[in-house]
Amino acid sequence: RTPSPISEATLAVPTPAEILTGELLPPELTWSTYISAWRIDPIWLAVCAFGIFFYIAGTLRLRRRGDSWPVLRTISWTAGLVLLFWITNGGINAYEHVLFSQHMLGHMALGMVVPLLLVPAAPVTLALRAIEKRTDSSRGAREWILVAVHSRFAQVISNPIFATVNFVGSLWFFYYTGLLRWAITNHIGHEWMVIHFLLAGYLFVQSLIGIDPGVKRLPYPFRLVQLLIAMTVHAFFGLTIMSGQALLLADWYGAMGRTWGPTPLEDQSAGGAIAWSVGEIPNAVLALVIAIQWSRNDSKVARRLDRQADRTDDAELEAYN
């Protein structure tokens, strides 16, 4: 008698990456693998597809009705959701479970770059204009959107102070508590992370440059102060990660068994550099947009005062004198 044949697959010992993630370790990160690697998330694939579909459908409905809608807003919305799709399904999603730097890059893009594209598209304003108003006292989609926008909960989370504290405070709370482990090792935790940081960034950007209704925004000088505070805390967070000498998740990123790329500590330092440098670029764009909006607002106020003076023959100025 001879023993039954044993296949090589049976003899193969699972790699550390397979034990931790349940998947094979992806190939070494290069530009080609970064572009060609995909790890599809059906939830965000559907969210992005439906988001683009309904936005374009709303703009077409406005045009059929004879109303206009800026093309740049449609482009901005589409670009934001295409970027969101790639972050949650493309190279970043394929490598963020084995490289902390890619996890941080995805986090920064979710919280700062994607909202910078979505907020100027004014989706709430489009929905309120495109969806028909009901006349039978019942509540349709438009009525429920108005209820949500003007609710007490929406007023709290869209408050500039809350939005700023939530935006910068979430960084520290997430990376220095057990939430990081939950988001990395658990699929539900990962989905929660994507939703939270996307909404936190959206509310922060909305409080600075948004045009949708229902949000109380600070005067322009205070918006710059609000942004400066967020930039300072954000930069300090990136420097803290970059200069750290201990792995935040040693039994995961340090035990992945990679034979390519930087060491886990070097990769974590690169993640801190990404948080510091990449995060500051959208902040600079925000500062520029605030300055432009401030200038345009001053011009509108000046023109309005001139028209009022022409109508009243400078009555207000004469009364003041």
pLDDT digits (tens, 9 = 90+) for 127-156: 988 888 887 878 888 888 888 888 899 889
Confidence of residue 297 (pLDDT cuts 50, 70, 90): confident
Q: Are 223 and 61 in contact (CB under 8 A)?
A: no
The mean pLDDT of 220-240, rounded to a whole number, is 88
Q: What is the predicted pLDDT for the residue at 86?
A: 94
What's the pLDDT tens digit per position in 251-290?
Answer: 888 888 888 888 989 999 999 998 888 777 888 888 888 8
- Give CA–CA dist 263/258, Å, rounded: 8
The mean pLDDT of 12-35, rounded to a whole number, is 83
- Give CA–CA dist 260/262, Å, rounded: 7
Confidence of residue 66 (pLDDT cuts 50, 70, 90): confident
User: Does position 309 have pLDDT exceeding 60, yes or no?
Assistant: no
The amino acid sitting at 252 is W
What's the pLDDT tens digit per position in 75-119?
Answer: 999 999 999 999 999 999 999 989 999 999 999 999 989 999 999
- Give CA–CA dist 25/11, Å, rounded: 19
Q: What is the predicted pLDDT for the residue at 301?
A: 56
